[in-house]
C-alpha cells in the first residue's frame, strides 16, 4: 500500500497540475481571483483520482513483483510449493482494497464534487461583473464578440460602452452608448441596458450600413457568454442513489436516454474493477517468465501492452454501450477481458513451474 500511495500521489500530481494550469489560464483571463482557481482545482481532484488509481495499482503491483523476483524472494516462495494462484491472493486482496476506495469515490465523492463544481460554474456564469465589468480593457467573452467600458462609476454606472457582435455570418452589429447598467442578480438572467446610443448594422453581402439611434436598449448578457449547458443537471454530478431511486426523474432533469443512465451507473462499477484488473495483470504477467540474466524486462513490456489492450476495449465499447438498454452491459467487456488475461497468465505460469519428467532411458 505504501508503494501504491507513492505512485498514486505522483500520477495524481501530474494530472492535477496539468488541469490546474488550464483552469488557471481560463479563470484568471476571465478576471477571477486565485481563491476561485484553487476551489475549482480542488473540486476536480476526486475525478482525477478515479482516473489515476487503476494505473497506480498496476504500477505498484508491477514494481513490487519485479523487486521480489530480482531479490530471489519469489523463487524461495515458489520452491516451498506455492502455486501462482496462491501467490496471487494477496494481490487480489490489494486490488479489492483499491476497488473499495474507488467505489466510494465513484458513487459518493465524485458526484458530490462535480455537482458542487456545476453550481459554482453557474454562479460564476451569472456573475456578469466577473466577466464583463472591467474598465479600460477590450474583452472577448465569446468568439466574435468584443466589449469595452471606458469607466465604471462607484454606483455601478457604465460610461462609454462599446459592443461589437460578429457571430452571425455575413453581418456585423456594433453598439455604442453613453451610459449602461447591468441588471439582474441571483437566478435571474443578467441584462445590459444601454442608454442613449447608436446601433450600426453592416451587411457584408451587400456592403450596406444601417444605423439606428435608441434612447434605451436591452441586451442579454447571457448571449455574450458561450453556452455551457450549466442550467441542466448532468449525469456525472448525479448520485448513484438518485439514479436508482428516481430513474425517470433523473432522465427528465438531465434529458438523457435510459441507456445513457445505465451506462453512467455501470461505469461507476466498471472503473473499480479496472483497479483489480490492473493489479492482477501487473503481478501475473511477470510470473510467466523463466529465469534470465536480463531480468523480467520482456514481461514488463508485455504487462504494459496488456493494459493498453484493456483500455483499448474500454474506448471501443464506450460509444456502442449507449446505443440501447441491452447493449449497456457491454461496458463491462474491458474488465472481463482483463480477468480473462489474468486467468490465462496464471494458468500458463502454473504449467511453466511444473517439473518436467525425463523419459526413462531404454535398455541397451
User: For 114-125, what is each residue's pLDDT tens digit?
Assistant: 888 888 776 766
Q: Is 70 exceeded by the pLDDT of residue 291?
A: no
Q: Coil, helix or strand for 218?
A: strand
Quote the mean pLDDT of the chain: 81
Strands 208-220 and 145-152: unpaired
* The predicted structure's pLDDT at residue 29: 61
Q: Which three three-digit cell numbers place residue 353?
A: 513451474
Please tell me the distance from the alpha carbon of residue 173 to that of residue 202, in angstroms, as a whole number: 6
Please tell me the distance from the alpha carbon of residue 299 to that of residue 290, in angstroms, as a whole number: 10
Spatial CB neighbours of 62, under 8 Å, sequence gap ≥ 6: 282, 283, 285, 286, 300, 303
Please tell me the distance from the alpha carbon of residue 218 to that of residue 139, in angstroms, as a whole number: 19
Q: Are 259 and 322 in contact (CB under 8 A)?
A: yes
Instruction: Quote the pTM value.
Output: 0.68
* The predicted structure's pLDDT at residue 177: 93
> Percent of the chain at pLDDT above 70?
85
- The model's pLDDT over 215-239, given as tens digits with 9 standing for 90+, comes to 999 887 766 654 444 456 777 888 8
Residue whose cell numbers read 451506462 = 263
- The model's pLDDT over 10-26, given as tens digits with 9 standing for 90+, comes to 887 787 777 777 777 66
pLDDT band for position 30 (50/70/90)? low
Please tell me the distance from the alpha carbon of residue 179 to that of residue 165, in angstroms, as a whole number: 18
Please tell me the distance from the alpha carbon of residue 133 to that of residue 31, in angstroms, as a whole number: 9
* The predicted structure's pLDDT at residue 362: 46
Cα of 106 vs its chain's centroid, Å: 12
Q: Is 50 exceeded by the pLDDT of residue 101?
A: yes
Q: Which three three-digit cell numbers place residue 259?
A: 441507456
Max CA separation in the chain (angstroms): 120
- The model's pLDDT over 338-352, given as tens digits with 9 standing for 90+, comes to 999 999 998 888 875
Q: What angle do CA 290, 296, 299 make, to 5 degrees?
A: 90
Mean pLDDT of the 47-61 span: 89
- The model's pLDDT over 261-275, given as tens digits with 9 standing for 90+, comes to 888 889 899 999 999
* The predicted structure's pLDDT at residue 342: 92
Pick the residue with more confidence: 91 or 32?
91
Q: Which of 93-102, 136-145, 348-357 has the highest mean pLDDT?
A: 93-102
* The predicted structure's pLDDT at residue 343: 92
Mean pLDDT of the 172-186 span: 84
Amino acid at each position: 500500500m505504501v508503494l501504491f500511495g507513492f505512485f498514486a500521489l505522483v500520477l495524481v500530481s501530474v494530472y492535477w497540475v496539468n488541469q490546474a494550469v488550464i483552469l488557471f489560464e481560463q479563470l484568471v483571463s476571465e478576471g477571477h481571483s486565485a481563491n476561485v482557481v484553487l476551489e475549482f482545482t480542488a473540486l476536480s481532484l476526486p475525478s482525477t483520482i478515479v482516473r489515476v488509481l487503476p494505473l497506480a495499482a498496476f504500477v505498484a503491483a508491477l514494481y513490487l513483483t519485479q523487486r521480489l523476483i530480482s531479490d530471489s524472494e519469489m523463487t524461495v516462495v515458489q520452491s516451498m510449493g506455492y502455486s501462482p494462484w496462491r501467490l496471487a491472493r494477496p494481490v487480489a486482496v490489494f486490488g479489492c482494497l483499491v476497488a473499495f476506495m474507488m467505489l466510494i469515490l465513484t458513487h459518493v465523492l465524485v458526484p458530490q464534487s462535480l455537482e458542487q463544481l456545476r453550481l459554482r460554474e453557474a454562479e460564476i456564469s451569472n456573475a456578469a461583473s466577473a466577466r464583463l465589468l472591467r474598465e479600460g480593457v477590450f474583452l472577448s467573452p465569446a468568439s466574435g464578440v468584443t466589449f469595452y467600458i471606458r469607466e465604471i462609476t462607484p454606483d455601478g454606472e457604465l460610461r462609454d460602452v462599446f459592443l461589437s457582435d460578429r457571430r452571425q455570418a455575413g453581418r456585423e452589429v456594433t453598439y455604442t452608448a453613453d451610459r449602461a447598467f447591468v441588471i439582474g442578480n441571483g437566478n435571474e438572467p443578467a441584462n445590459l441596458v444601454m442608454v442613449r446610443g447608436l446601433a450600426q448594422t453592416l451587411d457584408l453581402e451587400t456592403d450596406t450600413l444601417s444605423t439606428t439611434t435608441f434612447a434605451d436598449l436591452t441586451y442579454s448578457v447571457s448571449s455574450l457568454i458561450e453556452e455551457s449547458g450549466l442550467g441542466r443537471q448532468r449525469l456525472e454530478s448525479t448520485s448513484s442513489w438518485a439514479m436508482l431511486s428516481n430513474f425517470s426523474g433523473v432522465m427528465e432533469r438531465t434529458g438523457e436516454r435510459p441507456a445513457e443512465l445505465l451506462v453512467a451507473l455501470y461505469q461507476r462499477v466498471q472503473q473499480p474493477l479496472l483497479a483489480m484488473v490492473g493489479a492482477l495483470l501487473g503481478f501475473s504477467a511477470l510470473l510467466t517468465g523463466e529465469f534470465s540474466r536480463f531480468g523480467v524486462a520482456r514481461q514488463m513490456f508485455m504487462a504494459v501492452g496488456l493494459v493498453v489492450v484493456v483500455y483499448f476495449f474500454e474506448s471501443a465499447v464506450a460509444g456502442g454501450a449507449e446505443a440501447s438498454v441491452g447493449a449497456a452491459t457491454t461496458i463491462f467487456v474491458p474488465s472481463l477481458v482483463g480477468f480473462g488475461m489474468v486467468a490465462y497468465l496464471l494458468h500458463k505460469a502454473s504449467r511453466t513451474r511444473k517439473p518436467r519428467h525425463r523419459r526413462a532411458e531404454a535398455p541397451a
